[in-house]
Chains A and B, each alone.
Chain A
Amino acid sequence: MALLEIEDIHSYYGHIHALQGVSLTVEEGEIVTLIGSNGAGKTTTLRSINGILPPREGRIVFGGEEIQGTPAHDMISRGIAQSPEGRRIFHRMTVLENLEMGAYHRNDRAGIREDMDRVFELFPRLRERIKQESGTMSGGEQQMLAIGRALMSRPKLLLLDEPSMGLAPVLVERIFDIIKDINRQGTTILLVEQNANVALEIATRGYVLETGTIVNEAPAAQLREDPKVREAYLGEI
C-alpha cells in the first residue's frame, strides 16, 4: 500500500477550478516530484494535501486513512510536515526558536534533542547561527531552516515546495544534495519544483502537471529523456 494516495481531487480558489482531478501516489521511501509551469497547480496540490485548501471532491489517503477535511493543524501529528513556498519561517524568532516551533506538538525532550542534532548535522550552518534572528539570514540559510523546521516533527512524509526558489545555482545543488540525504535516512518526500532539471535528478518518479491535471507520469530518468518534457521544462529545443 502506498504511503500517500490521491484520487481524483478537485480544489477551488473561490470559483476558480484550480485542480481538475489530480491523482497521484507516493510509495514509502520515494522522492516523488511534481513538475510543471507557473500556475499549473503544483502548490495547490500541496495545499490540498496538508489541509490548508481542502479539496471539494476526491480522496486523499495517507497511511491507510482518509485525511481530506482534516484541519491543517492536525496534519503534523499525523506525520505530514512541509517546507512551504516562500519558506514562511518565523522571521522574528531565532533559529533555535524556529526549530522548536517545528517540534511544537511533541513532548519527548530526548527525541527532540536527537532530531535537533540531526538537523544541525544536515545543516551545520544553522548551528553556527543558532541564536540569530532568522529574518536576518540569507535566503539559502532561511531555506535550510524551513526544511530543518519541518524535519523537527520527525515526519513520515515531507512536502517541499520550491526549495530552489530565489537561490544561487551553487546553493540549489547543495540543498538538493541534502534533500537526497534526508530521503536516504528514511523520510519520504513529495517535491514540488519549477527547476525540473535538479528535481528529476534526485527523484525516483515524477508527475507532470498542466493546468490542473496530470498529463504525464513516469520514472524520473525516463521523464528526463522525454522529448516533450525536455522541450517544455528542461529548456532544450
Chain B
Amino acid sequence: MALLRRYALPVVLIVVALLFPLWNSFLEETVDVNLMYPVIVITVYIMLALGLNIVVGFAGLLDLGFVAFYALGAYVVAWLASGHFRQVSVAFGTTATSITGEEVPGIHLSFWLVLVLAGAFTALCGVIIGAPTLRLRGDYLAIVTLGFGEIIPRFFQNGDDLGGFNLTNGTIGIKAIDSPGFPFLPDSLSAWQRFGTLELYPWFYTILVMVLVTIYVNVRLQDSRLGRAWISVREDETAAAAMGINPVTTKLWAYALGATFGGFAGAFYGAFIKNVFPTSFSFNVSIFILLMVVLGGMGNIYGVILGAIVLQGTNFFLLPQIKTWVNSIGEAVGNQALATVDIPKYSFFIFGIMLVLMMLFRPEGIIPNRQRAEELHDETGSGDAMGGAIRA
C-alpha cells in the first residue's frame, strides 16, 4: 500500500507522457491542435530547469549564468555533427549522407556519441569555472556566474577568427546540424533511422527519455550522501566543514552535475533546431530557467517540472491568446493602441510581475520543498554569523 502511494503518481504521469503522441494526434484530428513542437521545447526546458535545480535548489548556489552550459552543449553538437569544419572529413555512425556518394566534409559523429561528449565537456567546463569561484559565497558567486553567462555567448559571437581559425562562425552561427538517428534500423522504422522534421515523435521520445534520466538522477541525489551534504552546506557551511564535509568539493559536484544536464539539453536542442547562433543564448534564458525553478519550488522536483511547464506554456499559448483577446477588445471599443498591442513582446515584463508576486505571497514556490520553505519563512534564520543562532 505504501509502495502504491509512493509510486502511483509518478507512474501515472510517466504513462501519460509516454502516450502523448497518441493523444496529440487525437487532438489534431478533433480540434486541429498540434502540440508536438511546443511540447518538445517545453521538455527541453524541463531538463534545463532540473539541471539548474541541482545547483540552486539542492546546493543553494545562485547561478545566473546557466545558459552558458546550454550554449556549450549546443555548440559541441554543432562542431561534431555538421559540415562546419570542412578542412576534415570524419564520419562515425552518422545519419549524414551525400547524394553523390562522396565523403561528406566536416565532422559527422553519431548524435548519441556527441550527446555523451557534450555532457562530459560541459561538466569539465563546470569544474574549471567552479573550482576557483565556488569559494565565494552568496552574492559574489551570483556575480561571477552572471559574468560567465555573458562571456560564453560573446565568445561564440567573436570566435570566427581565432588567429585565422574559424571556430564558431560568429553571428551567423553554425547551420545544418545532422539529425540524430539509428541508421542501422530496417526501413520499416524509417522515422527512427534519421529523425526528420515532419515526424517529430522520435524527437519527443528522445528528450522524454533524457528528462526521465534527469528526474531519476535528481531523485537519487536528493536522498544520497551528497544530497545530505548539500543540505548541510546550504544551512551552515562552517558546521558542515566541522562534520568533515569539504564545502568547496560539495558545491563543485552540484555545479558540475548541473552543467552536465545543461550540456545534454543544449546538445539535443542544437540538433533539434539544426542551427545554433550566439543570440539564442542570451542572459534572458538564464533568468527564464531560474524563474522556472523559483516559481515551481526550489528543490522540489515536481515543482520545478511544473514551473517549466507553466512558464513555457505561458510563453507558447497564454501570451498569444491574451494578445488576441486584448486586440479584439481594442477593435471592439475602437482603441488603436489596444487593437495592435503585441503582448508577447512584453513577456519579461509579465514574468517579472509574476516573480514579484510570487516572492511576496509564496516565496517557496508553487510546490515547495519542505526544508526550503522553512528556510524562507524563518524569521531568525540560522545564517552564517560567527556565533550562529541561539534558540533557548
Taking CB atoms, residues of chain A closer than 8 Å to B225 are: 104
Pick the residue among A81, A86, A104 that contacts B388 (CB under 8 A): A86
| Stretch of A3-11, A71-79, A112-120 that contacts chain B | A71-79
Residue A69 at the chain B interface, CB threshold 8 Å: no
The reply to whether A166 and B392 form a contact with Cβ atoms under 8 Å apart is: yes
Contact between B243 and A104, CB atoms less than 8 A apart: yes
- A77 CA to B245 CA in the complex, in Å? 10
Instruction: Give the size of the chain B interface in residues (CB under 8 angstroms).
Output: 28
Contact B245 A85 (CB under 8 A): no
Chain A residue at smallest Cβ distance from B382: A91
Inter-subunit contact B228/A73 (CB<8 Å): no
Contacts of A92 in B (CB 8 A): 231, 235, 371, 374-375
Query: What residues of A have a CB within 8 angstroms of the CB of B232 in the complex?
Result: 90, 93, 101
Please state if B375 and A105 are interface contacts (CB–CB under 8 Å).
no
Cβ contact within 8 Å between A104 and B244 = yes
Residues of chain B lying within 8 A (CB to CB) of residue A101: 228, 232, 240, 243
What B residues does A28 contact at CB under 8 A? none
Please tell me if B242 contacts chain A, counting CB pairs below 8 Å. Answer: yes
Q: Main secondary structure on chain A at its contact with chain B?
A: loop
Binary per-residue interface labels of chain B (370-387) against chain A in the complex, 1 for a CB within 8 Å, 0 otherwise = 010011001000100001
Q: In the assembled complex, how far is the CB of residue A131 from the closest CB belonging to chain B, in whole angstroms?
A: 13
Known: A50-B242, A72-B241, A104-B243. A90 touches B235 (CB 8 A): yes
A87 & B246 in contact (Cβ 8 Å cutoff): no
**Contact check: which of A71, A74, A88 meets B236 at CB < 8 Å?**
A88
Partner of A90, one of B239, B247, B390, B392: B239
Does B390 lie within 8 Å of A73, measured CB to CB?
Answer: no
Contact: B382 with A102, CB < 8 Å?
Answer: no
A86-B388, A97-B228 known; A77 vs B375 contact (CB < 8 Å):
no
Please encode chain B, from 231 to 259, with 1 for each CB lying within 8 Å of some chain A CB and 0 for all others.
11001101111111111000000000000
Q: Smallest CB–CB gap between B108 and chain A, Å?
A: 47
A139 touching B392 by the CB < 8 A rule? yes
Q: Contact residues of B with A, CB < 8 Å? A: 225, 228-229, 231-232, 235-236, 238-247, 371, 374-375, 378, 382, 387-392
